[in-house]
Amino acid sequence: MQKFLVLFLLITFSFANEIKQIDLTQAKWEYKWGDSPFENDIPLWTNDKENDSSWQKIDFPSNPENRNNQTNVWYRVKLPDVLPNDPNLYIVSIDLITQVYFENRQIYHFGEFNNEGKGEYKGWPWHLIKLPNDSAGKYIYFRIFSDYGDIGFFGEIKISSKGDLYEQMLQFDIPKIMVGSVSIFVSVLFLLTFLSKFKRLELSILGLMFLTQGLNVLFSAKILEIYFHYPLFKQYILAIAFFFFPIGMALFMDKTINGKVPFNLIKRIWQIHLIYLIGAIFGSLLGFFSLPSTYECFDIFYNFITLPILTFFMIYFFFKGNKETKIITFSFFIISIYWLYSSLIAAALVPWEEYPSDIAVFICLLLLSYSMVNKLNYTQELEEAKAELTILSSTDYLTKLDNRKNIDSVLKINENMYKRYKDNFSVILLDIDDFKKVNDNYGHLVGDNVLIEFAKILTKYTRQTDIVGRWGGEEFIIICPKTNLEETLILAQKLREKIASHNFGIVGTKTASIGVTTFRENDTITELLSRVDDALYLAKLKGKNRVEMEV
């Protein structure tokens, strides 16, 4: 039992003292400008002694002093005497390509060096370098080429086991993967909504912003590189997303905020950035310049021109605008702070750290979506009100039939169809017999009910192609397309019978006098209406409750 307890304590003590992770940024780094001579593929600088004065000390292996247009630099660092189990060196990023040496042999490379010690840009992936088991307490060397503004390392440099590194990546990247995926899904909804109706340009802008920023967040998830290792392709996607955001921001403000801007500055900003995006991507693809160089120009223009101008207008419109404008400007203000902070990190003005960019982007886009949905709801209400007004302007308020204004339009259309295609059409004019007595004896409310019932009979017993309207007072008109005089007379007689047999409640039965005519060669609408009116007068004259025609 005593032996077991001692063994347990030894095991516990060994696990407690096991090194999980080493922050190599705190180690003693050294650098040397230029490129090492090689002999039998062995860089001679890897044989330098520990206290060689040609190696200069540096706090962090990036951008040493007195660069003077140098494109090559070597860094070296002495590893700790004790390393974690399964030691792997993790580096967030290196500008731009590198080779790593241990005891005169190459243990890692990213990119290809030519005979002049130079190479082409291949992207900005993170690097995981398996350290030899006997590397504790010894130097490792980094050969680096960069024609970019930065030369050397960026971000974390640490030693840990591969399992621990992957676990940390996964914990930090799960929110990124979720936010990126949701953003892309939402972007598809916005873009499909826009394409289905080709309305509301703001929907397409918002959809593209969700898409590009969703891709930006998703592709910044480091864990995905384990399964999808195409660093240069990834960097082009990230560049498009990076360069597009000021376009989307300025374009959305330009299209949604109703406010005068001197010299159309907001419009000019998104136009210039759009030209820049197209030029930067295609120019680098065609080999006119490298992709990293486009970031340097963009950072200068964005940080010193675009961001100050947009921030000024954000603050101005926030205090001067309505509720929707306040939401839009506030959301962009959040994202601007995030961009400013990320720029300060990139410029090494604040310490590097992993920050929740996905949360800032998602909050911004959610606020923009909220403002857009409110605007769409308001627009829908306006459309519904407009449609209702359109109906009211063309419909008789009491009977819900077409009013005289709309009937005139329908008559004109049928006249044109006759002149072009010789399509016959006829007209029926009806008048309720002795309707004045209804109002006098029962009141106007009862009279209104009779008119409503009368309209229902006409609608029920006419064809769907026939147009029924209220001509005025107790007179009604029916336009019968593609119908000759004989067919119209049959319809008129049918209507007369249905009306005469209908019970109008307290009023009892009522009858109608009906006039019928048809449109003829060289006719006019005025002549047509005059004839049908004469026919109706004739029906009244002959005793009412009858159908008469004028040819």
Q: Are 362 and 311 in contact (CB under 8 A)?
A: no
Sign of CA dihedral 472, 474, 475, 479: positive
| β-bridge pairing 42-43 and 105-110 | unpaired
Token look-up 């060397």 returns 141
Establish whether the linkage from the previous residue to 382 is cis, with ω within 30° of 0: no
Residue 215 φ/ψ region, left for φ over 0, alpha for ψ in the -120 to 50 degree band, beta for the rest = alpha
C-alpha to C-alpha distances, 537 to 66, 475, 532, 543, nearest whole angstrom: 108, 12, 9, 10
Asked whether 49 and 12 are in contact (CB, 8 A), the reply is no
Rounded Cα distance, 144 and 72, in Å:
6
Q: How many angstroms separate the CA atoms of 460 and 469, rounded?
A: 13
Beta bridge partners of 39: 42
What SS3 state is found at 375? helix
- Beta strands 475-481 and 425-432 are antiparallel
Q: Residue 81 — φ and ψ, nearest 5°? A: -70, -25
Sheet holding 512-518, edge to edge: 467-472, 475-481, 425-432, 512-518, 547-549
- Rounded to an integer, what distance in angstroms lies between the CA atom of residue 433 and that of residue 441? 15
**Order of strands across the sheet with 87-95?**
21-23, 152-161, 87-95, 127-130
Tell me the residue type at 301.
F
Residues paired with residue 476 on neighbouring β-strands, in sequence order:
430, 470
**Annotation marks residue 474 as catalytic:** yes
Counts of helices then strands in the chain (DSSP H, E): 14, 17
Q: Which tokens sit at 92? A: 């967030």
3-state secondary structure 271-304: HHHHHHHHHHHHHHHCCCCCHHHHHHHHHHHHHH
Q: Which of 474, 475, 548, 550 is catalytic?
A: 474
Catalytic positions, written as ranges: 474
